[in-house]
Structure 1
Amino acid sequence: MNSRAGGLVGVAVLLALWWLASVLLFRSSGVIPTPPAVFAKLLDGQLWASTLRNTVATVTSAAQGYLWGNLAAIALSVAVLLLPRLEALANQIAIVTYCIPLVAIGPVLVIVAGRGSSGASVALAAMSCFFTTVVGCLVGLRAAPRASVDLVRAYGGTGWTVLRKVRVVAALPSLLAALRIAAPAAFLGAILAEYLGSGGGSTLGKALIAAQAQADAPLLWYLALVSALVSGLWYLLVGLIARAVTPWAAGSTATVGAA
């Protein structure tokens, strides 16, 4: 069974379990609606229009945070490589951003940035992907073949030349893998900030709050599926870019898997 067939079987099993749970365990309460009740929301044109508007706002904030968070992570990783004395400070910064609970820092950022602003959404999205990218970038930069590094230095290359000619190429597979993982994390961070009050009234976070206040279980599940779909598409998009940019890495992975 190939991976696609296995994925389809997994989805079918999850749908069957979902349907059984909604009918057998939560039929009276209705907290878990049946799949047809949720999928019926997909046929509501007016709901689709509002969902698209909310999704665009959330994705915009998440993309900005994804950009700034990853740029900061890459810059910090390069600085550590060129100036090893900064490693202790860089590790502290990365660990702090990873360990601070987003639920705790989120309300503070919302107050600072303002409820009508998307600043908190961008900040939480950036924090959500920062640590992952720092680790992936550092691991990749340090994975450069020693022989290639020595060869460039033997011809008089500086540390900057080694970085451009050898380390960046060696780091691409690891960095792109980290960026792939960071994409759904940034989207989750943006939704969390919106749920805490950021981004104005037309966001997925606000739509979730409204559905929760109305105790509309099918709508909540519908919004959850939309959010999962957006995260999955973003993850897939970065993965496709990674395959195009580093075909040698994809080829080696496929060879290992076949062996």
Structure 2
Amino acid sequence: MTGVNGRLGGLVGVVVIVAVWWLASLVLFQGSGAIPTPPSVLAEFLDPRRWTTTLGNAGSTVSSAARGYLWGNLAAIALSVLVLLAPRLERLANQIAIVTYCIPLVAIGPVIVIVAGREDPDGASVVLAGMSVFFTTVVGCLVGLRAAPRTSIDLVRAYGGSAWTVLRKVRVVAALPSLFAALKIAAPAAFLGAILAEYLGSGGDGTLGRALIAAQTQADAPLLWYLALVSGAISGLGYLAVGLLARAVTPWTTDGAIPAGPR
């Protein structure tokens, strides 16, 4: 019953949003056309030629975002494990994570685009996607690794287990819910980082970022809203995919978070 109520509430929310959108486009922005009507945006979705171009552009952007997501998360997990095995490096690791979080991607993006150059046209997209996920995954992984039950750690050590054995047998299992919670948030962030890099000149012409720029330059509001909705849907699918993987890998949790209650 709760699931049915939740879906019904979601449907009502979508209807309200579309109604407010439609009303605003007809009453507040009819003259400027800055907000198109829902039917004009729907017409873009129903155009097969538009979908052919969009799928090609989305493929390039998703590919760059996926590679950045992979390398950024691997680097974050490796750094978290290193901190756990060598606690003296924690201050340095925290500084690295904070720097990647605090540096504005808009400011460093053009530098990375220039450094990547024509030899690696989508290199900046991969780098910015990786930077977008690094801090979130470092925090989630460290929180999870340190959430391991003390009794389990003491038991492994009592049987002569090394720090590496404790990590494999206890800490990794305890870290999975928190890690997947971070990975879910990181999926849309990686996609956003890739699109931002494309805005700054990365990836060539066949990307969603360049398509958004072209629609903005032409003041094509329906196309711009269509591309924005497509980008949001792709980000949502990334979040959903990681969430489904989290449920399969950590069935003892319901939402990828650390379960409440005594350990």
Q: What TM-score do you get using the length of structure 2 for normalisation?
A: 0.94
1:145-184 aligned at under 5 Å gives the runs 145-184=149-188
User: Aligned-pair distance for 1:252?
Assistant: 9.9
Q: What is the aligned counterpart of 2:193 among 186, 189, 193?
A: 189
Paired with 1:73 and 1:213, the residues of 2 have a C-alpha distance of: 37
Which amino acid in structure 1 is aligned with residue 189 of structure 2? A
Paired with 1:122 and 1:10, the residues of 2 have a C-alpha distance of: 35
2:127 maps to 123
CA RMSD of superposed structures (Å): 1.5
Q: What is the aligned counterpart of 1:46 among 29, 46, 49?
A: 49
User: Aligned-pair distance for 1:176?
Assistant: 0.4
1:104-253 aligned at under 5 Å gives the runs 104-114=107-117, 117-250=121-254
In terms of fraction of residues, the more helix-rich structure is 1
CA gap 1:251/1:10 in 2 versus in 1, 3 angstroms: closer
Paired with 2:24 and 2:8, the residues of 1 have a C-alpha distance of: 24
Identity %: 76
Kept in 1: contact 2:156–2:166 (CA 8 A):
yes
User: Aligned-pair distance for 1:249?
Assistant: 1.3
User: Aligned-pair distance for 1:9?
Assistant: 1.6
SS at match of 1:226: helix
2:86 maps to 83
Q: What TM-score do you get using the length of structure 1 for normalisation?
A: 0.96
Which amino acid in structure 1 is aligned with residue 218 of structure 2? Q
Paired with 1:74 and 1:175, the residues of 2 have a C-alpha distance of: 9
User: Aligned-pair distance for 1:43?
Assistant: 1.1
Paired with 2:56 and 2:256, the residues of 1 have a C-alpha distance of: 41
**Structure 2 runs not aligned, ≥5 long:** none
Paired with 2:230 and 2:219, the residues of 1 have a C-alpha distance of: 18
User: Aligned-pair distance for 1:3?
Assistant: 2.3
Paired with 2:248 and 2:150, the residues of 1 have a C-alpha distance of: 26
SS at match of 2:36: coil
Which amino acid in structure 2 is aligned with residue 39 of structure 1? L
Paired with 1:162 and 1:249, the residues of 2 have a C-alpha distance of: 22
Paired with 1:178 and 1:49, the residues of 2 have a C-alpha distance of: 33
Query: Which 4+ stretches in 1 moved above 6 angstroms?
Result: none
1:163-209 Cα offsets, whole Å, 9 max, x none, are: 00000000000000100000000000000000110001100000001
Aligned length: 255
**Structure 1 runs not aligned, ≥5 long:** none
2:20 maps to 17
Which amino acid in structure 2 is aligned with residue 125 of structure 1? A
